Chain A
Amino acid sequence: MWIIRGLKKGIITTQFPKKDDETIPNSYYPDNLKNCTVFSDIQDFSCMGCGICKSDMVRREDHVEVRKALPLKKSVHIFVLDVGSCGACNREISLLGAPQYDFHRLGFFTTPTPKHADVLMVVGELTEDMLPVLRESYELMPEPKAVLAVGACASGIYLKRIEKEVPVSARVSGCPPQPKYILKALLQITGRWNE
């Protein structure tokens, strides 16, 4: 019986953001970016945490940067647009709906159309074929609207390519970013984050 199974399991949803949740392992990042052997001009948001540099790898939070907040008091609808990802960021966004994160409890919902979206979540490297789709998606969104670049491709390595087409309001690092920090970025962008 599913009900009994659920009752036995109890609540598994994280207390985050009310309390930090240390049971969720953070991603690895190098303690010194200067040793990067992949990119000559590495920035925090471009780091994939691959570990081939000679730095010590340490677990830490993914970076979140909000350039322009979009304070919204009610439900927030998110249109997710993959513009050329490897697929990992897509799964992490899907997992925001898993019981451990349950982003609906915080008023976040995905929508299958940009016409109903407050936030455009962009993942991946922008390919030529997805460029018109990105432009059109952004244009179809009603005002006010925000763009959240998710993951090292969209938020760092290929950020400039995306910024040329749409204004990026916020970004989160990580390859892929942990669901917890995508959630943090959503809370910050909508003015719901209390340190």
Chain B
Amino acid sequence: MNEHTGEVLLAAFKENDGYSAVWMNYDTGKMRIDNVDESLLDERPITSAFFNNYDIDIRSLPSCAKILTYGPAAGGIGEAGAFRLATCGEKILSLVPYRGFKKSRSMLKMVKDMEVSRALPYFSRLSGQFAASYTTLFINLAFDDLDESFKTLSFAAVEMERIHNHVWVMHKLANDAAQKVASAHLSALTEEFLRLNSIVFGSRYLMDYPHLYKKYGSFHERLKELESEFNGLIDELLHSRIFIDRLHTTGKLNSEDVIKNDITGIPARAAAVPRDSRKFSVLKDFYVNHEIRMEEDGDALSRFLVRVSEVKDSISLLKETNLPDKIRVPEKPSNGLRYGLIEAPPGDIFMMVHVEDGKVKSVKIRPPSVVMLHAFSIGVRGNVFTDYPFALDSFGLYFADADLYGGW
């Protein structure tokens, strides 16, 4: 295990007079923001992801190479997003994300000058799959009057979000490996977790959970049933050599790739690089004894196994959590400029919020999917086309999330 991973370039934003960079040390939890010059763009490959200025270097490719665009509608991605890839026959020589199809969603800009309490539904809908994480992070940065019962509910919502996303990724991977029965079981299990979310938090995707939560007496009982179902399915799936062989060595990122490219979240942990923001996040009080789950190989199988361990951890944590009878939704805005992190299912979200007179003046976001897209673009190189869905799905990324990158 690499104990010291140095400072990670978490985000960079274009400013009027250059660039600002957000640095994070995952060993100490220290985050700092400074002004940097353009040389940063050459030194850190992840900046291509931040500024969406990817290009395939044709000069480095063999003469037989062809470049094609895959997406945004019929590319099998399931979202408005695309990739540009270079190939010479079966092998993917190079691949870069082609994002921005969702960039002009007006919802992103509508919150400017809006009262923080009115802005909440918009933050809940920035990214449907990570609604609880965005909602929780925004509330923690934009409000002052958070009590213990509300924090406990936030923690539970974020952990439920981790579970349903991880199980959905497992369903997709089983489907990619033509394990149709396993895939059907895992999609059924996802649906059951979403129904539980709806019953407890008022929304299948945990949107607006602060306003819709109602105490559900059988929460732990139902969770135990779903835990038993999950454990049984995973035991069965990990006995499938077909499944394991298709994921093993696919979309591989080693620890050097992770460190060089400022990768965080699941792909970092799957390559034995301990980058996990839970102990430093806005919910850090709930993760005092948190143990970072890691694997060694950095491939799609390792990312799958990290997810399995994290689902088990999340269920254990939730079983020990007593959900509040009632909560008080925070109302008092915290004026000033604040920033922080939260560990969403694939990796951490960085958000900076400036509130003045109770109104949102500016927001900056570095979503996890932008890092996952960059990690995918590195991991998939040298793989063949049939590996593409395994590699892509193992990162659990969404273009809707990646296109949030930036400030407004």
Interface residues of A (CB under 8 A from B): 1-2, 5-6, 9, 12, 24-25, 27-28, 37-38, 48-52, 57, 80-92, 94-95, 97-101, 112-114, 124-125, 127-130, 133, 137, 175-176, 178
Contacts and interface: CB of A to CB of B under 8 A. Distances in A.
Contacts of B103: 127, 129
A133 B73 contact: yes
B188 A100 contact: yes
Given A98-B191, A99-B188, A129-B102, 12 more contacts: A6-B185, A37-B118, A52-B120, A82-B80, A86-B105, A86-B128, A87-B79, A87-B398, A101-B191, A124-B80, A129-B80, A129-B103
Interface string B75-89: 010111000000000
Interface in B80-124: 80, 100-107, 117-118, 120-121, 124
A149 to B, nearest CB: 16
B126 interface: yes
A99 B195 CA distance: 14
A130 B205 contact: no
B75 to A, nearest CB: 9
Contacts of A113: 74
A127 B208 contact: no
Contacts of B128: 85-91, 176
Contacts of B205: 88, 91, 176
Interface residues of B, number: 53
Given A27-B203, A87-B127, A130 B80 contact: yes
B178 interface: no
B276 interface: no
B234 interface: no
B182 to A, nearest CB: 7
A52 B118 contact: yes
Contacts of A38: 118, 121
A183 to B, nearest CB: 13
Contacts of A37: 118
B103 to A, nearest CB: 7
A99 B199 CA distance: 20
Contacts of B185: 2, 5-6, 9, 99
A137 B73 contact: yes
B275 to A, nearest CB: 24
Which 10 A-B residue pairs are closest in the complex by CB-CB distance? A88-B128, A51-B211, A50-B121, A87-B128, A86-B128, A87-B400, A98-B187, A25-B198, A2-B181, A127-B104
B169 to A, nearest CB: 12
Contact of A176 (B168, B187, B199, B204): B204
B184 interface: yes
B187 A130 contact: no
A97 B73 CA distance: 20
A130 B400 contact: no
Which of B72, B102, B117, B129 has most A Cβ within 10 Å?
A: B102
